[in-house]
Structure 1
């Protein structure tokens, strides 16, 4: 990344993610009273005065405990500090200095990056200086009393921070392609992200629900820039309790909505489940371009016909995404992972593509010639006057007809298949909007009134 990186370090539950939200002016980082909400390192963009930088939120550091995910969280925090231009140690002003703070401070004093000390939870202006003064003993210089919730003191902290940051050299001309990696728990989303990057960017564990936040990572490939977003595994709603998993799934749904392309990861061993079908329907309803990634292909016993049989079965179950490309990969061995980028580029291009009105009407004319619109029992036949594409992402085509009610589901599906056969649109959903004569009259009258004015 060309922007300088600022790592946020500290014990669990001192308010690191709340500070990240304050510095980045977002609510993207999950904040909850439960300690250990953040596990992976997550990147967010921020700026202060004339400086732009990237804030890295990390999990709570505990040096004397190797239970559950704590060693992996330490590894992620160490990697964040290794690439950082500066770091902010966050401590709890209401609790005062603890043994954990002293252990982290002792470790930070051995690092080569500048360290700023932020004493959080100093909501009272009169007591804030007294609370902060306790932390001089950590030997990290001036402690800044702040309140991440209310924002007090963060201006002074940022003024001191940017003195340690070089000017930004971001290339604003390079457009990012946003790619969300989604799927059920334990299908290999984080492993796929790590394989893309060639490093342990996200914590990988056989324990379901390891990833909680949406993890943004910038990747350069063949001259293109991708923002890969690893998301929490999405389970059935009835199995999700309010807390870490609830917040993580909401972030995953948000990542789908803001993505240009969704990598929908399926477990090749387990096959397509009911939950996979629901996710497929959501991706289609949100109008996102999609590539179906069948992971763990190395674990499947196969012959020369296996891949064809698998794809046939999976497509029959994922009929919501019958327009999406499918690729069989192994995140563990790296098999075919490199080819995913090509499919992502193709899906994004089709999702953004526009087709002229004349070409659309040629398709309509030929489709009607081969299969006339249905006729009612009273002898009234449906008529398509013309069509035009009104928007992209996803491609949306309005068809002006005499009466939308005369066009049943079968004929509507036929028209969509004709547009796909003639125009492509592989990798993206398309929307067909059917508007009747009454709607045309309203639009014509509105245009006439606007012209008179």
Structure 2
């Protein structure tokens, strides 16, 4: 199941970032070796009760006039309407109800998306409730009083948010067609890739049941099997500001990646691999999705016998946090090697859903430990008692150890490589969780 997406919208200085940081708290999963993902966090995982969702901060407005505030708020609201399952509309009890709040509320109301109205900076519920009631005038439901800075009322707010999540309807569960998100920077050829794959096939464009996003899904039949391609290229909004465009494309990418099994990261061969590519790749990596790196416009490159080798090394270097990704060199213009995409997608999905018996895992573990001793610190050595696979998509393993402090990233990577030597896990990340056990508990 893809996680629901919740977006926060509101005027400058109403406390959006405070709420965002407060809800993410320590739960924000910082993947240490993913470049660009954590510096400018636009999104984060939040768990409330037993529900997990992706929280999106739609953007900071730095305006110099009322008109710009309104146009930027509309832009934010549009992003939220396009990508989110639930919208949190944030206002400020101290500033009261402002004209631009009413205009944005109209837009949100017309979208028919669930909106939760929250009124921030209510640090004294008894005293300020009359001011909160004023926000009923927006006509988008009951205002929820909160104080993000004092962490008041947040539980009630989250209870309200998760009420609007789509029921775990079976529609998505039963849809076992492979879902592929085509991601990448603007103008690298994402749409041309999908158009070329469609070729002469009559296309059924459908929004898959159970999703409320406006990303257009294209169903392509290949060898009598349906594949659903999710296109993130639809940047319809003309934004003058590069940061806005970049932020918007990242939000679109998060929404698409959330729903896919495999992400195809399209890179422009004529530009080479860039920091922005790494940022976009990081989203798929953090979400534990299968990844294919498709180097497009390969027909436009002057080549010698070393070109592919050099380009591959550059990719591995820039995207060093995802050594598992499959790399292919394609041309959306000529159709070169495009048929191989389907084979790769099928293979990656097989690997994402592969389960390894515990007995076999522990044989690999015993051998790995015998070949290379676990790290030690101040005379105490890491012991790994046993490991077991707990889930798929991505394959996730729990290692029971004597002391979590001793588990070193490089040793975990070594164990991962040993497992990959035996089972491949092509194109998919694998996750490791360390749990402490005392010997007497075993």
TM value normalised by structure 2: 0.55
> Is the CA contact 1:181–1:229 (under 8 Å) kept in the aligned structure 2?
yes
Q: Which residue of 2 aligns with 1:402?
A: 402
Distance across 2 between alignment mates of 1:312 and 1:248: 27
> Is the CA contact 2:266–2:294 (under 8 Å) kept in the aligned structure 1?
yes
Distance across 2 between alignment mates of 1:332 and 1:252: 23
TM value normalised by structure 1: 0.54
> Is the CA contact 2:201–2:220 (under 8 Å) kept in the aligned structure 1?
no
Secondary structure in 2 matching 1:176: coil
Cα offset for 1:219? Answer: 1.1
- CA pair 246-194 structure 1, distance change in 2 beyond 3 A: same
**Larger relative contact order (Cα-Cα within 8 Å, sequence gap ≥ 6):** 2
Q: Where do 1:37-48 residues align within 5 Å?
A: none
Q: Which residue of 2 aligns with 1:413?
A: 413
Structure 1 stretches of 4+ moved >3 Å? 199-202, 245-249, 438-441
Q: Where do 1:102-113 residues align within 5 Å?
A: none
Secondary structure in 1 matching 2:303: coil
Q: Gaps (5+ residues) in structure 2?
A: 1-72, 83-109, 111-138, 141-170, 204-212, 236-240
Q: Which residue of 1 aligns with 2:197?
A: 196
Residue deviations 1:89-117 (CA, integer Å, cap 9, x gap): xxxxxxxxxxxxxxxxxxxxxxxxxxxxx
Distance across 1 between alignment mates of 2:314 and 2:244: 33
Q: Gaps (5+ residues) in structure 1?
A: 1-31, 43-120, 122-148, 151-169, 203-211, 445-453
Q: Which residue of 1 aligns with 2:367?
A: 366
Q: Which residue of 1 aligns with 2:423?
A: 423
> Is the CA contact 1:324–1:428 (under 8 Å) kept in the aligned structure 2?
yes
**Match status 1:228 vs 2:229:** yes
Q: Which residue of 2 aligns with 1:344?
A: 345
Q: Where do 1:122-201 residues align within 5 Å?
A: 175-198=176-199
Distance across 2 between alignment mates of 1:182 and 1:440: 49
- CA pair 302-423 structure 1, distance change in 2 beyond 3 A: same
- CA pair 397-415 structure 1, distance change in 2 beyond 3 A: same
CA RMSD of aligned residues (A): 3.4
Q: Which residue of 2 aligns with 1:240?
A: 243
Q: Which residue of 2 aligns with 1:383?
A: 383
Give the number of the structure whose alpha-carbon radius of gyration is greater. Answer: 1
- CA pair 292-440 structure 1, distance change in 2 beyond 3 A: farther
Distance across 1 between alignment mates of 2:223 and 2:177: 13
Residue deviations 1:203-233 (CA, integer Å, cap 9, x gap): xxxxxxxxx9622111111132111011038
Distance across 2 between alignment mates of 1:272 and 1:200: 32
Q: Which residue of 2 aligns with 1:291?
A: 292
Q: How many residues align?
A: 269
Cα offset for 1:375? Answer: 2.1
Residue deviations 1:357-396 (CA, integer Å, cap 9, x gap): 011101101100100111222x221111000000000000
Cα offset for 1:406? Answer: 1.3
> Is the CA contact 2:201–2:221 (under 8 Å) kept in the aligned structure 1?
no
